[in-house]
Structures are given as structure tokens and as C-alpha cells.
Structure 1
Amino acid sequence: MLAFVIALTLVLSACAKNESNEGKASNSGASPTASQSAEGTASATSASEENPFKMAEPVEISIIKSVVPDLKLPPGESIEDNHFAKYLADKTNIRFKVLWYATGDDFTQKQKLAIASNDLPDIMSVDETTFRSLVEGGQVEDLTEYYNKYASDKVKEMYGAANNLPLEKATIDGKLYAMPNISVLADSISMAWVRQDWLDKLKLPAPKTVDDIATIAKAFVEQDPDGNNKKDTVGLLGNNVELYSFAYTGSYDFTAIFHAFDSYPGLWLKDENGKVVYGSTTLQTKQTLAKLKEMYSNGLIDKEFMIRKESSQLVNNGKAGLFFGPWWAPWPLGDSIKVDKNADWKPYLIQDSQGKYNTHMVPPTTQFLVVKKGFKYPEALVKHINFYLSNGTGVSGARDKAEEDQLLDYSLLQHLYPLYTTFDYPDAVARKHEVLKKALDGQIAPEELTPEMKGHYDRWQRDLKNPKAEPGDWSAPYAYLYGGGLLTQKMDKEVYNAFTATTKTMSQKWANLLKMEKEVFFKIVAGDKPVDDFDKFVEAWKKQGGDQIIAEIEAELQK
């Protein structure tokens, strides 16, 4: 469900047109290092001399594709020859030739072999580690001039809305070497999802702090919130895989508690002297583990969470009413309201001891579209992205699609679109919340909504008429109205990972270091190790490769 919802969210985000002009960023676009070509020939006005969405003559671009297993294609179509490819050839004059495609690990291995032998497609999508390696090896084109000359105002606006952080990630030694995607930042923030009906029954206030969470958990364990005269409900849920998330927020972990202690485990941070520190080795992380151990020993955290296969079962059968999760938690909560229509889930943000809201942030970009060194038409990539994000004519989910756009099967977008990537405003979820709320308040006519948001509007109207009768009608609009609504709360501290690639020592030793960390952290929380064993862990972590990794990261960050 987690993988499905994230994929669905990203696809919908990529396909959705912005519904509001609020918060529109400057069109300046590129970072200072990426906004000037060496010879000063790439002025922004040059783009107006050419069609920003279409090549003057037909161009063939070779690509590779990662596909899901057992993909079912429309009759007569293939990975290379399909209705998306034909559509793009007509609209952009770009024809895509698929050199090869593969699934999962097979794709990863084949791509590594292709890079090692310098047998690259004309354009491909890679992660940050691979991107940096390609640049270092001189295998990809400098796109600075092409970005400045051909990037549309829409593309520059969207990068600007992300404070140009994706462009900075793709810029090395003052040169832009990729068209990076833009992450939706809503998936950074961990919220406390609580059974409001249980809070009301037990006359408990809404949670604001970690201590409030502990109070609620104790009440849920001891005061029979489900009213069956049995002590069979649990407090705060956990999961047996991880205690925290350091990128996309997961469900049933304790990320929000770490953040309330100003702890950011799993992230590479800069200390007050500008030195790199691993977030899992800080004093604040030790303090968080001590708090979690206290809560666990007092029975406030599900006693079986470390061995329980599915914490969601406790939610679905009405035996749990408190967990941490992302804004889209109502999607899986649909099973909960099937069992109990009285289940009234509400999200809350948790403050630190100073009343501040802290959060880590997902990386501003995770995918880098690169062009093979020597390819004759690097501008084709920029024009492709222009079209992808264009208003009214591209596949961006715009309201006023042309007739041929309506014939596209958007359920296959991620699988068949030749250079599919996620690309949206970083605050896309909050924007969609505002749009849906205005439509429900009568400030926007339903007919003016995009197909995606019109669907959520219609679902909510059906749910209002027959509350929680159909979880599919309740989940999505509820997530945008309540989870998305909470995202409009300004965070006081947003912490980005200082380094999101991989170093040489990390590739060799990181798996063992993570294994050691996980074992120590879980045993401290369970009470099998004293809290002070955290200090022994930090010392061992440094000696077994941590210090060397930090040195390598600092060297990388200076490039």
C-alpha cells in the first residue's frame, strides 16, 4: 500500500496542472552558476526565436526503460511503439528508440554495465550517485547553454518554486549537467494520526507535544476507549523495520518524536562549525532513544511492535487509535472505517520543547535526466521537459486538453511515457488542498477544476451524502482536506540532507554500519541495552568506517 500510494501520488502530481497562482515564484529559474553560459550567448529571449516545445526537424533519441513485471499493454502496442510515443512524435518531432528495457535489479545491472562500457543511450534518467560519476567521467553533456536558451518560463518558474535546489544539485563546477526532477515536499512531514472520537470520549485535549502523545497512549491502553469493557487496546504503534524515516515519511515509525528532540537520524548534517555530522550519532538522538525506551517500558508503545508483522491490523480492527504517518495516511485508513464508521481520524503536528515545529525534508531532487556526451541535439531534452509541463497542450493534466490529449491512457503514463519523471511544485499537496477547499466552499466552480481535483470533489460530495459508506470516496479527498490542510502550517525548522549520493567507503561498509545502528537502537528502546551503550555505538561507528565516510563526503561537498 505504501509503494502504491507514493507511486499514485507522484503520478497524479506529475499529471496535475497548478490550480492557483498563489505563491508563484520568480521566473528567474536557474541558480547563479547555471544561469550564465561562458560566452554569454544564452539569453532568455533566445527561447522566443524557436518553438520551445518542438524540434524544427524530426529527431531520433535512443533511451532505455525500466518496466514493471507483467505490464499489460494495449493491443498492438509495445514499449517503444505505443500511443504516447506517436503522440510525442507528432507534438515535439522527437521519436524515441528504446535500445533495451528490463525490470528491477536487471535494469540496474544492465545500466551499470552500459555506463562502465560507455555504451550509453542518448538520454537517460539516473540517481545522484550515478550522475556524479558520469560527470566525473566526462560522459555527459554540459546543458547550461541549452537550459538558458530553451527552457520555458513554466520550467523556470517550477524550479524557482523549489528555490532552485534541484538545479543546484545538478550543477557541478558551475555547469548544469542534467535536467533534475522536482520532489513534492509534502512527503517529508510526519503527523500524529489520532482517533478523535476516542479523544472526545476520554475528554483528552489534542496532542501538541511528545508528553501529550505519552498521555494519550496511556489513556488508550488503560481507559477502554473502544468501550468493550476489556483492556485490549494499545497505545502508540511502531513497526519492526525502522524507528525513523530520513527521506519519504513512512507509517508507524517515530520520526516525529526524533524531530521533536531536534534529532535527524539518517541524515548528513552540518554542525555549528560547518563540519559534517551523521544525524544518528548526535546527543539529541541519544535523548530521543532514552524517551522511546521510557515510553516502551511503561507500556505506552505497542509491546509487540518489534515482532509484529503488520501494525496496520491493529488499526483496521479497531484496537489502535494512535500512530505517526504521512499526509496520505487516509488511503490505508479506508480499511479502518470499513470496520467502524465512527472512527474519526485527525492529524496533528508535534512541537519541540520550545513550541517549534521541526522536520527533515525529502531530497529536492532524486532523478537526473542526462544527455550523452557528443549527442547532436541536447536541446531536445529541454524541449521535451517544456512540453511535459506545458499548459493546455502537454500531458501535465491541464484542464483544456486538445482532443488527441483526451485519447491518452494516463494509467499507463509512468510505464509508457518515454522519459517519464516526477515533476511538480514542491508544495503541490498544499496547493491542491486550497483548491479543493475553495471548490467545496463555492469559491471555485467544479467545472474549473482539473480532472484529478474534480474527481476528489465528486468523491467528497458522495461521501457527504452517505458518510463513510464507500472508503474509496472518503480516503483521497480526506487526505487532501485534513492531511494536506495540516501542510499549510509553517514549519519552524526544515532540515535537508547535506549529502544524498554515495562515497567509495559507503559502497563498501554502509550496509554493515546500518545493520549495527539498527540493532543497537532497537535494543536500547526494548531495554535490552542501557542508553549509555549509544556512546559505544558512536565510537564503533566512527572506527568501522564512519570517520572515513565523513572525510569523503566533505571532499565531495567542496567540489
Structure 2
Amino acid sequence: MKKLALFMFTLLLILSMAACSDKTAKENEHDSGGTKTIRVVYKDEGPSNPVAKTYYANLEKALKKDEKLDVKFELVEMPQGTYSEKLNLLLLSGDIPDLIYFQGGDQQMVEQQLLEDLTPYIEKSTYIKEILGTHNLERMKNYPYLLWIKPLDSKTPVIRKDWLEQTASSKELMENPTVDNYYTFFKELVAQSSEGKPKYAITTAGDIGELDYLFEMAFGINQTWLKNGTEYEYSKVSTKEKEKLAFYNKLYKEGLLDPQYLTKQWDTKEKAFYDGETAVIVGTNGKVVDIYNGKMKQVNGDNAEVSVLPPAKGEFQGYAPTDITKESRGLAISSQSKNKDTVFKILDYLASPKGQMFDRIGFEGEHYQVTDSGIELNEKYYNEWYARYWEPEEFTTEKPLKTPLLSEPAEKSRELANEFYSEDNLFLIPEELVSKWDAMENLYKEYATDIITGKQPIGNFDKFVSEWKKAGGDEVTEYANKNIK
């Protein structure tokens, strides 16, 4: 079925690309005067976004001034809906921009040879090769089509600092963050709800992935494939997973986990946090925590600064292992583009000192001010600005930053993410097993949800394991044991 779908995809792509050939020729004629049109598709960065329009207009000027590159950016508007699905439809139509931001769905494009291998570009780069982190290098070795130079993407839990300090159990939690101490802390938070405290201790955006960043390693799940004697077994069918789900069910049953966690989206999750409905949410360390901190103080006053919570401690401790198989999101260059070298020059420029200054701190006069003594970031920067492209750990400016790039809680979240870094042993599922793997993952989600919400007893976990093995689990496990190094 998958091969038939890929064949139909290829056929439609060839036909639609042929239909687009006249348009491409006209675009190339338009570019013959020296200005190259670079088409960009990027989530939330379409022409209807005034900040995006200003950003790319300013980038055109900077590239012309600093690099003598004469380019015009054309931003592609994406319709409302799931970005990866809408992007897939756009590319399937044969409309393939030069620079593409992916947030899923990229592997299908790689199979059709529509994305450029970035390895030779990086090797010849002036700046990008110097700012790649260890996790970036490992991911690029395995999958050289997506580039996403950001700090570790581990997610860290945060809570209002005033609420943290008002609980009697917080001191013990911060010194010894065991699963039991987290449970005690959550119970105290919700018990005081009548005093203006939250209804729920924690909520998530639609699944248990964010809970796992906090608790999974404490239950002994330190990698996707766990060593069981001499063999590897998939962590989600292990006894450790069963214990973890039983704990999540306990949180749900006692009203500590938001009963609406399955239907929450990222925006409603954050609103519940700012409005005080929930005490703890989990967000990507660094800039996302910075935005949480800024908005929380904006809504509830300076005393509502956020604090970062440590990962739960048990058999292991950490914010989940880091997947190094590939970037889960990132930027790709179309293999069909006539402007591949130019596109990469733009990406390399954004890694340069001048490019970093442009991308990292926003618009002068709006997000920061330059004075004789240095650069001062303002409240608007902390509340809304984020780098569209690269965020290496080191960032220097010609004049000193009078205010830090990240707030204290955001910096703390980044330090903790680095402190608890560990690598996963996840691997890319081979094409012949992908459809079975997807079905197995859906089976897990169904059972996990029913067990957490009490629709099925925890004893049915063993039934799930049996069904998982029959659905293809035995084949994938055999493959894992042959290929995990």
C-alpha cells in the first residue's frame, strides 16, 4: 500500500511539475536582470504576517549590503490547519519553494529525492560548520537533509515562583525530586486551590510526551530500546512503562493531571498556565521558557516570575534522552531549486556575526536600543522575539549586551538541559516496516490513553504487549537487535 502511494505521489508530482514549468521559466526570466527570487515556506511566516514581511525585507537589505547578494524573498502563504499536512499538499501539487521549513513529513520528500543533501554545502561553509552542536553533527551524519542549529530541544517544567515558594513541600522537592516527592508537591498545590491556587497540578498539549520529559527517566526509561538481559526490548512494552502509566493514572484519578490534557493545544495549555488553572507546564528550554516568563509576569505581575523544576529522580534522572537519528524539524533546500547555492549563502550569512545580530535580537528601536554603553533589550524582545534561524550557544555583539539574552529562568532551563543531556538509541524505521510501526504506535497511544483515563485497567497492559508483538513488534524488535550498535 505504501509503495502504491509513493508511486501515485511520484506520478502526480511529475505531472504537476510539468504543469508548473511555464511558471518556473517566467520566474527565471524575471531573475535574469540580476535579482534572484527566493521562495520561502515557513510555518507562521507568510505574507499575512507583518513581522515576517518586515524581517525578510530587512534581510534583503542586509544581504545586499554585507554580502552583495541581490535577492528578493517571496513568502508562501499556508492555509490554516496542520502545517505538515498543508505543506505536503503544497509540495504534492508541484509547487516546491527554494527554502522549506519542515515540522514532519520530510522523509517522504527525501524518498522522492526532492531535498538536497546539505553535507557538501556545510563542508564548504564559512560559518555554519563552526556553530554546529554535538547533537547537530550526529543528526546530520544520519540524515543530512534538515538543518536546525538550535540548543538542545529538551523540554523543562516551569511553575510560578511565588506558588513554588508558598508550598511546604517545595524545599524537599527541589533538594530530592523523587517521583514520590513530586506526587506530594502536586497534592499540596491542588489541595490549596480554594486559596486561589490552581485546579490542576499539571497539563499537557494533547498527549503524554510532555509528562515523559519530567518523569520517564525516573522510571528507568533512559532510552527507547532498553537492554533486557542480552537483548533489546522496546521501552513502551516494558514493565517500566507499565509502572509509569500506573503513576499517570494515579495523577489523573486524583485530579492532579488536567482531565482535559488530551484536547489541549499548545495555546490553550499556555492560557491555562497564565490564567492560573494549572500550576506546571512543560516547554522547550531557553527561549520558550523566556516567553513563558515574560507573559506570566505581564499577566500576573513581577512576583509571578517562573521557576524551572528539576527532572524527577529515580533509577535515572533527566529530561528524556535526546534523539540523534535526525532533526525532528528544520530547514531544507529543494533539490529542484535553481538557486541552491544562493539559498545556502543566505543560511551561512545568518550564522555569521552580522547575520546573528540581525536574527537574534529583533528590530532596532522596537526590540532593542543601541546606546553609547551598549545594547539594551526591552520588554517586547523578551515577550515575543525569537530567532527565525540559528541559535548557537555562543553569541557576541560588537557592543556589549546591557541586558542578558535570556532571562534568569530561561538560562537556568538551558543549563539544566545541558547538565542532563544523554543520547537515545532510536533509529529510523526501514521503509518496509513503516506502516506496521505506525499501526503499533497508534495501538500504544490508544491503550496508554485508556489506561491513564481509567477506561481500561492497568492489567490490560499485558494484553497491549501481546497485540503489539502480533502487529509487527516481533519484526521490529528483531531488526533493532541486529542494528543497534
The answer as to 2:186 corresponding to 1:217 is: yes
Query: Which residue does 1:238 correspond to in 2?
Result: 203
Residue identity over aligned pairs, in percent, reads 15
- Amino acid across the alignment from 1:372: S
Residue 357 of structure 1 aligns to a residue whose secondary structure is coil
Look up the match of 1:357. Answer: 318
**1:210 Cα deviation from its structure 2 partner:** 1.0
From 294, 306, 310, the counterpart of 2:250: 294
The reply to whether residue 155 of structure 1 matches residue 128 of structure 2 is: yes
| Partner secondary structure for residue 354 of structure 2 | coil
2:426 aligns with one of 498, 503, 506: 498
Give the equivalent residue in structure 1 for 2:151.
Answer: 184
Q: Which amino acid aligns with 2:245?
A: L
C-alpha offsets along residues 279-325 of structure 1, whole Å, 9 cap, x if unaligned? Answer: 4323221110122223444x262474457865666654556544555
Distance 2:298 2:140 in 1: 43
- The alignment's C-alpha RMSD in Å is 5.0
Match of 1:88 in 2: 63
Paired residues of 2:214 and 2:311 also in contact (CA < 8 A): yes
Mapped to 1, the partners of 2:258 and 2:146 lie a distance apart of 47
Residue 517 of structure 1 is matched in structure 2 by 444
| Aligned-pair CA distance for 1:95 | 4.6
Code of the aligned partner of 1:167 = M
**By how many angstroms is 1:242 displaced?**
0.9
TM score, norm. by length of structure 2: 0.65
Quick one: structure 1 residues 497 and 102, their matched pair in 2 at CA, closer, same or farther if it must change by over 3 Å? farther
Hey, what's the Cα distance between the residues in 2 that align with 1:368 and 1:555? Answer: 32
Give the Cα–Cα distance (whole angstroms) in 2 for the partners of residues 146 and 271 of structure 1.
38
**Aligned residue identity for 1:151:** S
Q: Judge conservation of contact 1:254–1:324 (CA < 8 Å) in 2.
A: no
Distance in 2 of aligned mates of 1:61 and 1:274: 56
CA distance in 2, matches of 1:556, 1:99: 43
In structure 1, C-alpha distance between the alignment counterparts of 2:70 and 2:481, rounded to whole Å: 42
Residues 62, 551 of structure 1: alpha-carbon distance in 2 compared, 3 angstrom cutoff: farther
Pairs within 5 Å for 1:441-460: 448-449=400-401, 454=403
Deviation at 1:522, TM superposition (A): 2.4
In structure 2, the gaps of 5 or more residues are: 1-32, 80-84, 369-379, 381-386
Deviation at 1:518, TM superposition (A): 2.8
Over 3 Å counting, the alpha-carbon distance change for 1:525 and 1:78 in structure 2 is closer
1:284 is aligned to 2:240: yes
Q: CA separation in 2, counterparts of 1:240 and 1:372?
A: 35
What is the deviation of 1:385? Answer: 2.8
Q: 1:210 to 1:277 in 2, by over 3 A?
A: same
1:6-45 alignment runs, 5 A limit:
none
The aligned runs of 1:393-432 (5 Å cut-off) are 396-397=358-359, 422-425=389-392, 428=393
Q: In structure 2, how many angstroms separate the alpha carbons of the residues matched to 1:217 and 1:538?
A: 30
Q: Which residue of 2 is the match for residue 39 of structure 1?
A: none
In structure 2, distance between residues paired with 1:239 and 1:80: 32
Counterpart amino acid of residue 287 in structure 1: E
Q: 1:305 to 1:495 in 2, by over 3 A?
A: farther
One-letter identity of the residue aligned with 1:237: I
Superposed CA offset, 1:244-267 (max 9, x none): 24xxxxxxx453112221336xx8
How far apart are the structure 2 equivalents of 1:301 and 1:87? 51
Aligned residue pairs, count: 416
Per-residue CA deviations over 1:75-116 (Å, capped at 9, x if unaligned) read xx98999453354355445455778834145443121232xx
Query: Over residues 332-386 of structure 1, what are the superposed CA-to-partner deviations in whole Å (9 max), with x where a residue is unaligned?
Result: 46447745765564222134324643523266633253353796x7544443333
Please identify, of 103-112 and 59-68, the stretch whose mean Cα deviation from structure 2 is larger.
Answer: 59-68
Q: Normalising to structure 1: TM-score of the pair? A: 0.58
SS of structure 2 residue aligned to 1:448: coil
Shift in alpha-carbon separation, 1:275–1:133, aligned structure 2, 3 A: farther
- 2:156, 2:308 within 8 Å by CA — same for their partners in 1? no
Deviation at 1:71, TM superposition (A): 0.9
Do the aligned partners of 2:40 and 2:73 also contact (CA within 8 Å) in 1? yes
Residues 514-535 of structure 1 deviation map (CA, whole Å, 9 limit, x = unaligned): 4443332122123332212112
Partner of 2:413: helix, strand, or coil? helix
Do the aligned partners of 2:133 and 2:151 also contact (CA within 8 Å) in 1?
no
Q: Secondary structure at the match of 1:385?
A: helix
In the alignment, what sits opposite 1:202? 168
1:168-205 per-residue CA deviation (whole Å, 9 max, x = no partner) reads 1344xxxxxx47232321x3133353655555453652
CA contact (8 A) 1:194 1:345 kept: yes
**Which of 83-92 and 535-544 deviates more?**
83-92
Residue 215 of structure 1 aligns with an amino acid whose one-letter code is: T
Mapped to 1, the partners of 2:312 and 2:337 lie a distance apart of 52
Give distance in 1, aligned partners of 2:273 and 2:353: 42
Q: Is the 8 A contact 1:352 1:358 kept in 2?
A: no
Q: 1:96 to 1:293 in 2, by over 3 A?
A: same
Indicate the residue corresponding to 1:263 in structure 2: 221
Q: Is 2:348 the counterpart of 1:386? A: yes
Higher relative contact order (CA 8 A, sep 6+): 1
**Closer, same or farther: CA 386–543 of 1 in aligned 2, 3 Å:** same
Structure 1 residues 113 and 209, CA gap change in structure 2 (3 angstroms): same
Structure with bigger helix share is 2
> How big is the shift at 1:537?
1.5
Residue 111 and residue 508 in structure 1: after superposition, are their counterparts in 2 closer, same or farther (change >3 A)? Answer: farther
Whole-Å Cα distance in 2 between the matches of residues 261 and 525 of structure 1? 16
Question: Structure 1 residue 388: deviation in Å?
Answer: 1.8
Q: Is the 8 A contact 2:35 2:72 kept in 1?
A: no
Gaps of 5+ in 1: 1-56, 172-177, 246-252, 412-419, 436-444, 458-475
| CA distance in 2: counterparts of 1:100 and 1:343, whole angstroms | 38
SS of equivalent residue, structure 2 residue 407: helix
Contact 1:180 1:367 in 2 (8 A): yes
> Any conservation in 2 of the 1:290–1:525 contact (CA below 8 Å)?
yes
Separation of aligned partners in 2, 1:539 and 1:262? 22
Q: CA deviation at 1:499?
A: 3.5
